[in-house]
């Protein structure tokens, strides 16, 4: 999997938009950008993924730059429950080994939502 770079921590005020950056300058043409988050002492949770177009779902928006070398996850109205470690992962949507591939996690960004 291509390497990603994320800031180790960020603060955001409750009710404001949280913008989490991720650099993935070595991303390949067939690799998607995935975001997961892990709330303290829980398992990671899938948030969103995209290839080159911006994506939005009920949890967040994903903005991918035109050259695909970086992306930003946006939580539009952050709440205290959004405090978590957010992981940016790049990986292809093709499979080796029988159709299942594990995820390679980095250290992520610890997002702290301040009241």
Question: To the nearest whole angstrom, how small is the minimum distance from the Cβ of residue 88 to another protein?
Answer: 12
Stretch that binds another protein, among 2-10, 18-26, 39-47, 64-72 (CB under 8 A): 39-47
Query: Does 46 sit near another protein (CB under 8 A)?
Result: yes
Torsional sign, CA 47, 41, 100, 23: positive
Query: Does 29 sit near another protein (CB under 8 A)?
Result: no
Q: Distance between CA 62 and CA 73 in Å, rounded? A: 5
Residues 51-90, interacting with another protein (CB under 8 A)? none
- Give every strand in the sheet of 55-56, ordered side by side: 18-23, 70-75, 61-64, 55-56
Query: Does 45 sit near another protein (CB under 8 A)?
Result: yes
* Closest residue by Cα to residue 20 from 5, 32, 42: 5
Query: Does 14 sit near another protein (CB under 8 A)?
Result: no
Total residues contacting another protein (rule CB under 8 A)?
Answer: 24
Q: Which residues bind another protein (CB under 8 A)?
A: 32, 34, 41-46, 49, 91, 93, 95, 97-108
């Amino acid at each position: 999997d291509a390497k990603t770079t994320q800031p180790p921590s960020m603060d955001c005020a409750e009710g404001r938009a949280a913008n989490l950056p991720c650099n993935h300058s070595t991303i390949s043409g067939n690799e998607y950008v995935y975001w997961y988050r892990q709330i303290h002492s829980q398992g990671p949770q899938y948030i969103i993924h995209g290839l080159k177009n911006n994506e939005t779902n009920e949890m967040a928006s994903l903005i991918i730059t035109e050259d695909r070398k970086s992306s930003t996850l946006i939580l539009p109205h952050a709440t205290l429950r959004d405090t978590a470690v957010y992981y940016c992962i790049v990986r292809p949507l093709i499979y080796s080994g029988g159709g299942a591939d594990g995820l390679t996690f980095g250290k992520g960004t610890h997002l702290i939502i301040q009241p």
